[in-house]
Structure 1
Amino acid sequence: MSKADCPPPPRATYRLQLNSRFNFAAVEAIAGYLARLGVSHVYASPFLKARPGSSHGYDIVDHSALNPELGTTEDFDRMTQALRANGLGLILDFVPNHMGVNGADNPYWLDVLEWGQESAYAGWFDIDWRPEPSHLDGKVLVPVLGDQYGAVLAGGGLELRLDAAAGEIAVWAHGAHKLPIRPGHYGRILGNDHAELERLSDAFSHLEGFHPHERRRAGELKADLAALVAADPKMAAAVAERLGHFAGLAGDLESWKRLDRLIADQHWRVAHFRVAADDINYRRFFNISDLAGLRIEHEELFEHAHRFVFELIAKGVLDGLRIDHIDGLLDPKTYCRRLREKTPRPVYLVVEKILGESEELREDWQADGTTGYEFANLLTNLLIDPNGQARLDELYRRFSGERRSFKAISRECKLAIMEDEMAGELGGLAREAARIARSNPRTADFTRNVLQRALREIVAGFRVYRTYVDMDDATAADLKELETAFAHARRSGGGIDRSVFDFLFALLSGEAVARPGSGFSRQDVLGFAMRFQQYTGPIMAKGVEDTAFYRYNRFIAANEVGGHPGHLGASVEAFHAANLARHAGAMLATSTHDTKRGEDCRARLAVLSEIPVDFAEAAARWRTMLGGTEAGPDGNDIFLFFQLLVGAWPPGLVPADPGALQRFQERLQLAMLKSAREAKIHTNWAAPDEAYEKSLHDYVAAAFANQDFLADFIGFEKRVIELGAANSLTQTVLKFTVPGIPDIYQGAEAYDFSLVDPDNRRPVDWAWRKDGLEKLRPIARDDLLDGSAKLAVIANLLALRRRHEALFAEGDYRPIEMAGDRFIAFSRQHGDCALIVVAARFPGRGPIDGFLPLPHHDPVYGDILSGRQITPGKEGIDLAMLLAELPAAVLVPQTPPAIRHSQP
Structure 2
Amino acid sequence: MTFEESFTPRIPVSTYRLQFNGHFTFPDARGVISYLHHLGISDIYASPYFKAKEGSLHGYDIVAHNMINPEIGTEEEYNEMIRELRKYGMGQILDIVPNHMCITSNENSWWMDVLENGPSSVYADFFDIDWEPVKIELKNKVLIPILNDQYGNVLERQELQLAFENGDFFLSYFQHKFPIRPKTYRDILQHGIDRLKNHLSPEDPNLNELLSIITALNHLPPYTEKDQEKIAERYREKEIIKKRLWNLYREIQEIQAFINETVKMFNGVKEKSESFDPLDHLLNQQIYRLSKWSVATEEINYRRFFDINDLAAIRMENPFVFKETHTLIFKLIRNGAVTGLRIDHPDGLYNPSEYFRRLQRNCFLHKRLNLTGTLAETPDGETALLRQYQELLSKDSQMKAFYIVGEKIFIKGEKMPEDWPIFGTTGYVFLNSLNGIFVETTNAKIFDDIYGRFIRSKVVFQKVVYEKKKLIMEVIMSSEVNTLGHYLNRLSEKNRLTRDFTLNSLTNAIKEVIAFFPVYRTYIKPSEVTERDRRYIEIAVSKAKRNNPAMSESVFDFLKDVLLLKYPENFKDADQKEWLDFVMKFQQVTGPVTAKGLEDTTFYIYNRLVSLNEVGGSPERFGVLMETFHGQNIERCKFWPHTLIATTTHDSKRSEDVRARINVLSEIPDEWRSCLTRWRRLNKKNAVVAEGQTIPDPNEEYLLYQTLVGAWPIEPMTISGYEIFKKRIKDYLVKALREAKVNTSWINPNANYENIVISFIEAILNNTRRNKFLKDFQIFQKKIAHCGIYNSLSQTLLKITSPGIPDFYQGTELWDFSLVDPDNRRPVDYNVRIKMLEELKKNEQEVAPSALARELTINKDTGKIKLYLVYKALNYRKINREIFERGEYTPLEVMGEKAIHVCSFARKLDNSTVLVVVPRFFTRLAQQPDSMPLGNEVWKDSFIILPDEGIGKKYRNIFTGEVVVSSHHKGSTILYLSEIYAHFPVALLERIA
Q: TM-score range by the shorter chain?
A: over 0.9
User: Would you say the 8 A contact 2:52–2:63 is kept in 1?
Assistant: yes
Task: Tell me the distance in 1 between the aligned counterparts of 2:549 and 2:107.
Answer: 48
Q: 1:517 Cα shift?
A: 4.5
Match of 1:862 among 931, 956, 972: 956
Confirm or deny that 1:555 pairs with 2:646.
Answer: no
Residue 923 (structure 2) aligns with: 844
User: Would you say the 8 A contact 1:2–1:340 is kept in 2?
Assistant: no
Confirm or deny that 1:642 pairs with 2:733.
Answer: no
Cα deviation, 1:594-628, whole Å, max 9, x if unaligned, reads 10111010011100000111111112212222222
Task: Tell me the distance in 2 between the aligned counterparts of 1:584 and 1:752.
Answer: 28
Task: Tell me the distance in 2 between the aligned counterparts of 1:833 and 1:771.
Answer: 35
Match of 1:524 among 563, 578, 602: 578
Residue 310 (structure 1) aligns with: 330
User: Would you say the 8 A contact 2:10–2:340 is kept in 1?
Assistant: no
Task: Tell me the distance in 2 between the aligned counterparts of 1:783 and 1:27.
Answer: 30
Residue 378 (structure 2) aligns with: none
User: Would you say the 8 A contact 1:381–1:558 is kept in 2?
Assistant: yes
Residue 902 (structure 2) aligns with: 823
Match of 1:804 among 875, 880, 888: 880
Residue 899 (structure 1) aligns with: none
Residue 775 (structure 1) aligns with: 839
Q: 1:458 Cα shift?
A: 0.2
Cα separation, partners in 2 of 1:270 and 1:639, compared to 1, 3 Å: same
Task: Tell me the distance in 2 between the aligned counterparts of 1:131 and 1:313.
Answer: 40
- Identify which range, 790-799 or 492-501, moves more after superposition: 492-501
Match of 2:783 among 703, 713, 719: 719
Residue 564 (structure 1) aligns with: 618
Match of 2:437 among 339, 357, 382: 382
Task: Tell me the distance in 2 between the aligned counterparts of 1:768 and 1:356.
Answer: 39
* Secondary structure of 1:290's aligned partner: strand
Q: CA RMSD in A?
A: 1.8
Task: Tell me the distance in 2 between the aligned counterparts of 1:890 and 1:321.
Answer: 31
Q: 1:104 Cα shift?
A: 1.4
Counterparts of 1:276-295 in structure 2, within 5 Å, are 276-295=296-315
Counterparts of 1:340-355 in structure 2, within 5 Å, are 340-343=360-363, 344-345=366-367, 346-355=401-410
Counterparts of 1:738-753 in structure 2, within 5 Å, are 738-753=802-817
Confirm or deny that 1:579 pairs with 2:660.
Answer: no
Q: 1:518 Cα shift?
A: 7.5
Equivalent position amino acid for 1:10 in 2: P
Residue 91 (structure 1) aligns with: 93
Equivalent position amino acid for 2:502 in 1: T
Q: 1:878 Cα shift?
A: 1.2
Q: 1:718 Cα shift?
A: 1.6
Residue 136 (structure 2) aligns with: 134
User: Would you say the 8 A contact 1:721–1:785 is kept in 2?
Assistant: no
Cα deviation, 1:357-393, whole Å, max 9, x if unaligned, reads 1111122111000001111111111111112222221
User: Would you say the 8 A contact 1:50–1:61 is kept in 2?
Assistant: yes
Match of 1:40 among 32, 39, 42: 42
Counterparts of 1:883-898 in structure 2, within 5 Å, are 883-895=981-993
- Identify which range, 311-320 or 611-620, moves more after superposition: 611-620
Residue 861 (structure 2) aligns with: 785
Confirm or deny that 1:594 pairs with 2:651.
Answer: yes
User: Would you say the 8 A contact 2:964–2:979 is kept in 1?
Assistant: no
Cα deviation, 1:567-615, whole Å, max 9, x if unaligned, reads 1110111011111112111101111111011101001110000011111
Cα deviation, 1:200-224, whole Å, max 9, x if unaligned, reads 2222222139834111110111122
* Secondary structure of 2:267's aligned partner: coil
User: Would you say the 8 A contact 1:861–1:891 is kept in 2?
Assistant: yes
Equivalent position amino acid for 2:880 in 1: H
Task: Tell me the distance in 2 between the aligned counterparts of 1:371 and 1:329.
Answer: 17
User: Would you say the 8 A contact 1:545–1:560 is kept in 2?
Assistant: yes
User: Would you say the 8 A contact 2:356–2:422 is kept in 1?
Assistant: yes
Task: Tell me the distance in 1 between the aligned counterparts of 2:23 and 2:273.
Answer: 44
Residue 898 (structure 1) aligns with: none
Equivalent position amino acid for 1:524 in 2: E
Cα separation, partners in 2 of 1:4 and 1:39, compared to 1, 3 Å: same
Task: Tell me the distance in 2 between the aligned counterparts of 1:719 and 1:208.
Answer: 75
Cα deviation, 1:205-259, whole Å, max 9, x if unaligned, reads 2213983411111011112222222333443222111212212122333221111
Cα separation, partners in 2 of 1:261 and 1:2, compared to 1, 3 Å: farther
Residue 207 (structure 1) aligns with: 220
User: Would you say the 8 A contact 1:653–1:661 is kept in 2?
Assistant: no
Residue 146 (structure 2) aligns with: 144
Counterparts of 1:432-443 in structure 2, within 5 Å, are 432-443=487-498
Residue 400 (structure 1) aligns with: 455
> Which runs of 5 or more structure 1 residues have no equivalent in the other structure?
896-904
- Identify which range, 339-348 or 720-729, moves more after superposition: 339-348
Residue 759 (structure 2) aligns with: 698
Task: Tell me the distance in 1 between the aligned counterparts of 2:423 and 2:779.
Answer: 47
Residue 513 (structure 2) aligns with: 458
Q: 1:113 Cα shift?
A: 0.9
Task: Tell me the distance in 2 between the aligned counterparts of 1:554 and 1:3.
Answer: 50
Residue 756 (structure 1) aligns with: 820
Match of 1:533 among 587, 612, 615: 587
> What is the TM-score normalised by the length of structure 2?
0.88
Task: Tell me the distance in 1 between the aligned counterparts of 2:525 and 2:609.
Answer: 39
User: Would you say the 8 A contact 1:2–1:366 is kept in 2?
Assistant: no
Q: 1:3 Cα shift?
A: 13
Corresponding residue pairs, total: 889
Equivalent position amino acid for 1:178 in 2: K
- Identify which range, 211-220 or 741-750, moves more after superposition: 211-220
- Identify which range, 698-707 or 150-159, moves more after superposition: 698-707
- Identify which range, 596-605 or 859-868, moves more after superposition: 859-868
* Secondary structure of 1:775's aligned partner: helix
Counterparts of 1:181-200 in structure 2, within 5 Å, are 181-191=180-190, 192=193, 193=196, 195=207, 196-200=209-213
Q: 1:786 Cα shift?
A: 2.8
Residue 730 (structure 1) aligns with: 794
Cα deviation, 1:309-341, whole Å, max 9, x if unaligned, reads 101100111001100001000000000000011
Task: Tell me the distance in 2 between the aligned counterparts of 1:310 and 1:219.
Answer: 32
User: Would you say the 8 A contact 1:556–1:640 is kept in 2?
Assistant: yes
Cα separation, partners in 2 of 1:640 and 1:4, compared to 1, 3 Å: farther
Match of 1:242 among 262, 266, 271: 262
* Secondary structure of 2:476's aligned partner: coil
Q: 1:813 Cα shift?
A: 1.0
Cα deviation, 1:765-792, whole Å, max 9, x if unaligned, reads 1011111111225422314333111111
Counterparts of 1:677-688 in structure 2, within 5 Å, are 677-688=738-749
Residue 966 (structure 2) aligns with: 872
Q: 1:21 Cα shift?
A: 0.8
User: Would you say the 8 A contact 1:352–1:370 is kept in 2?
Assistant: yes
Residue 630 (structure 1) aligns with: 689
* Secondary structure of 2:86's aligned partner: helix
Confirm or deny that 1:80 pairs with 2:86.
Answer: no
Task: Tell me the distance in 2 between the aligned counterparts of 1:232 and 1:492.
Answer: 73
User: Would you say the 8 A contact 1:571–1:821 is kept in 2?
Assistant: no
Cα separation, partners in 2 of 1:2 and 1:448, compared to 1, 3 Å: farther
User: Would you say the 8 A contact 1:409–1:548 is kept in 2?
Assistant: yes
User: Would you say the 8 A contact 2:523–2:587 is kept in 1?
Assistant: yes
Match of 1:31 among 30, 33, 41: 33
Cα deviation, 1:44-92, whole Å, max 9, x if unaligned, reads 0000111111111101111111111111111111111111112211111
Cα separation, partners in 2 of 1:301 and 1:873, compared to 1, 3 Å: same
* Secondary structure of 2:807's aligned partner: strand
> Which runs of 5 or more structure 2 residues have no equivalent in the other structure?
198-206, 223-228, 368-400, 845-851, 926-937
Residue 901 (structure 1) aligns with: none
Task: Tell me the distance in 2 between the aligned counterparts of 1:692 and 1:177.
Answer: 32
User: Would you say the 8 A contact 2:610–2:706 is kept in 1?
Assistant: yes
Residue 900 (structure 1) aligns with: none
Equivalent position amino acid for 2:713 in 1: P
Residue 371 (structure 2) aligns with: none
